[in-house]
Structure 1
């Protein structure tokens, strides 16, 4: 019985992860973002931006995560679940009509998540909202916010949904899209819309606009849709949180004067330099545990050093470094490179890697242990 406990624990964790991702209700579909169903290119809402994660290589397409709306000079309102798997400073905001041809790319310096956000709650019962702070103010107007409750948010009212997405899982991220949806039910926290203009994938965190007595206003943050991005959409009401969350956090955003991180240094040896927390690393990097201690590195590329500047045709080791306005491309140099063979983290390895036959044996032994654990779990 005790030997099986770790397996049960992992199964429980898998269930929680499923619940957090809103299985059965498409809350983010972040792996394969899709566009607003029935959407068309949007040129009227430049305040709606794309939130992307670091690409694996400079030749790769941007990795769309979510959408968001500029509601302050440097503040973007988005969905809190967009930060479930990545830390805020691993994201960048793309300004413009098309993520493949950005007008500007800005680093994210900080984020404030709504205190009543609960990833396990029903879609209409949680304030799925966050405010992310950018490094600088983009040259676009901010979206107008409601000053108070919006009486127009009732069944039968048309709204405009705006967000970024992919046309297909295999295609690159596309343009900013818009579509019309009709409200079918409105609650105190969230609003449901019908089967047109359904948000999907990379549209999470995107904007919902409506005509009100004050004019066009940002009335919602896109949260979820029905299974397979069909049947209905769900958005969180902005008027329900503008006074006690959005306005105070906008004031906090104005006080974020820096990222609190050191700038990326292409001449630094990140393989050798130690860190104790993410704050010791440049924006976008994490303080990652290695066998010889903790070092700054990117989530997908782990710890490495970086050599000469390169372009999109520089091959798979030409990778993005820095973030936002400091973004550039450099050749990735694995820790301990030059000896050939496998790279495995071993105690006393200095840069965290060892090369040659001993490293290969270490990797094979680790793989054998993982297979043995899986067999025990399958019993």
Structure 2
């Protein structure tokens, strides 16, 4: 016997309840009829039912609600409404859906299929289904341990150098503790772009066209998805939405550069016992989804130690292409010693160094400009440009680059 939790509109609810009781009494039983999404979530969190049958047009329904529901529900089936000549309403990526007007026998068959032991894992239920034939760009996560190693400055300049090299690039501020890219780039209107993208992803309305409307052009070839604005808005950025954001951004540009926050911790007690939002979700999601992770550290013992301590966490997030950049290198920093130290303790693909140039960096920060504008012929700009070119999806010849 399969216990069903039902949340549907009046006419659909009555038809399904009566049909199940009349024709499928030995297979299914409706144990709870919920009036709205909030009641459904409460019932599911209490452990009631084997499968949830819910109208996907119920107020408040989005990917976040489905993600929360699937943490405790055995399975979820969505009721969709189709009309002749009208596109099918969204399935929110749900694996099992059935037309709200379908015969009760068909509804019952879908419920039984969803509740079967062979049904796939949670992560396969709510998902973004990319077009396998559509172009898909690379995702670069620029991350660094605590201590302000300069990851935001590097992320902004790497993205700009990629754009100058002819690569269509989107820069994303995903730091939920101290978003700073808007200030670094001199952007006056700091709209919470990442929040808007997550909302659209949660409603299953985020596509390439939506990205074009919420990600403005900053420089030729470079677009900017601003962060959360006020740090207090971090609960609006959740992992189930971010997964969809990264996928659509990949389809919108050849290179996506994400400035990720330093903290990669995950509170296990919260993860397993509650459905609370997690402040580090933006960083962990970006690092886990990235094709390449650029770990930024400064050239001092404290920063290097902090980086080495994060090696295990990076492995847990299944980072396969890890590259390290040692920032602000200046005499008497033992660059070769740092390089050998990192290589001995971390599995990294490459290590790069960026020289210290406080005067140029201060000028760029105060003017809201990038290194290509504040110091086009400086060693720090040349180092960042070379680093950016090494990270591009394919080797790109730089046209008109300033001579060294």
TM-score norm. by structure 2 comes to 0.21
TM-score norm. by structure 1 comes to 0.22
Structure in which a larger fraction of residues adopt helix:
2
Whichever of the two has the greater Rg, that structure is 2
Structure in which a larger fraction of residues adopt strand:
1
